[in-house]
Amino acid sequence: MTNTYFNFRNFLIISCLLPLNIGSSAIALQSPKPTPTQSPNPALTNSRTSQFVGQWRLKDYLPIPLTVIFTQDGKLFVLLPSYLSSFFSTGSPSLSRGSVSAFEYRYKINSTAQPMQIDLISPAENQTVATIFELTSDGQLRVEWEGINPGEPRPTEFTAGAIYLQKVANTTALPRNTQIIDLAAQQRQARESEGQQYISSMNMAQQAFYIENEKFATAIDDLGIGIKPETENYSFQIVPQSGSIPSAMMTAKAKSPELKSYTGAVFAIKVDGGFTSVSVVCETDQPSTTPPAMPIAPKNAEEEIKCPAGSTAAE
């Protein structure tokens, strides 16, 4: 994933329980590869699953202990302290009032293999993290983790990179104000931020270009800001404009129907015998591979530029 912000939220996702990669995201839903073992013993499998069920504490791996909950129906929740909620807020006011943030995943175990196997699954992507685990004699859950990446072969032995979880309760109930974080939505927003930020940068570059050249650039390379016409998520273009008011139109066309598209508009407005430039970035209200149309030019520098129907000024 390009141009995402590496904030504390991403740090926790990367380095805590699940080895998510900001460029390609994390583990996800995919049927685990079959393992050449004997048919699972249902009684043994159920026994191992029941040992998983409950709350576990991951500590001594990060400065902040994390609570991990395994449920009887194969769900796994990673809970973060309420004081970290602001790092995960996506506009929900409740997140700033003592709510607990949680990531939801799924897990599958194969207790007949040696060493025993666990697959960690997320609905957000199309990969699986396959690793090994054991229940130690002192009741801890040992999981081979360091250096394990999605899609790679399952390790066959434990190393110094294993993590340890200590069981603290048998209950699987989530705290009352738990907010389940939608990883797929967050990943989509991170991808969309590329389109919005690139168009915003092109707007500013066009304003600087006009001051120096008394005209707008017609090619992306002329802006000199290193933006390529194509990225993994978007196609960028400068669309020539005509009219009595000098203007420039830049578009970010989403390559995926799951993403929003963006249009940047810059206008050179006459002020006291000279010119000043005003700009806006419009985003489609819904995911779309068609960027918004060019906004109507304002009558003066104080008038707000209105995005066309079906789009809204990006914040």
Query: pLDDT tens, 84-104?
Result: 655 555 444 444 455 778 888
Name the residue with higher pLDDT: 70 or 39: 70
pLDDT at 17 over 90: no
pLDDT at 198 over 80: yes
Token readout for 287 is: 């995911």
The closest of 84, 118, 119, 124 to 104, measured between CA atoms, is 124
Q: What is the pLDDT of residue 37?
A: 38
Distance of CA 145 to the CA centre of its chain: 22
CA–CA separation, 234 vs 198, rounded Å?
A: 10
Question: Residue 286 corresponds to which amino acid?
Answer: Q
Distance of CA 177 to the CA centre of its chain: 23
Find out whether 24 and 13 touch, Cβ atoms under 8 Å: no
> Helices (DSSP H) in 98-245: which residue ranges?
183-213
What is the percent of the chain where pLDDT is above 90? 57
CA angle 197, 203, 208 (to 5 degrees): 130
Q: Is 13 helix (H, G, I), strand (E, B) or coil?
A: helix
pLDDT at 121 over 70: yes
Find out whether 239 and 260 touch, Cβ atoms under 8 Å: no
| Domain parsing of the chain, residue ranges | 8-181, 185-313
CA–CA separation, 199 vs 41, rounded Å?
A: 57
Q: What is the pLDDT of residue 95?
A: 43
What is the tens place of the pLDDT at every residue in 244-287? Answer: 899 999 999 999 999 999 999 999 998 887 889 999 999 999 99
pLDDT at 22 over 60: no
Mean pLDDT of 6-29: 36
- The DSSP code for 297 is P
Name the residue with higher pLDDT: 81 or 175: 175
Q: What is the pLDDT of residue 13?
A: 42
CA–CA separation, 261 vs 290, rounded Å?
A: 6
pLDDT at 178 over 50: yes
Find out whether 77 and 52 touch, Cβ atoms under 8 Å: no
Q: What is the pLDDT of residue 51?
A: 86
Find out whether 276 and 299 touch, Cβ atoms under 8 Å: no
What is the tens place of the pLDDT at every residue in 204-252? Answer: 999 999 999 999 999 999 999 999 999 999 999 999 998 889 999 999 9
Q: What is the pLDDT of residue 45?
A: 53
Find out whether 217 and 206 touch, Cβ atoms under 8 Å: yes
Please report which confidence band the pLDDT of residue 20 belongs to, taking 50, 70 and 90 as the band edges.
very low
CA–CA separation, 282 vs 200, rounded Å?
A: 10
Token readout for 147 is: 């250096």
Find out whether 145 and 154 touch, Cβ atoms under 8 Å: no
Q: H or E stretch including 58?
A: strand 54-58
Find out whether 96 and 86 touch, Cβ atoms under 8 Å: yes
Distance of CA 1 to the CA centre of its chain: 8
CA–CA separation, 13 vs 260, rounded Å?
A: 25
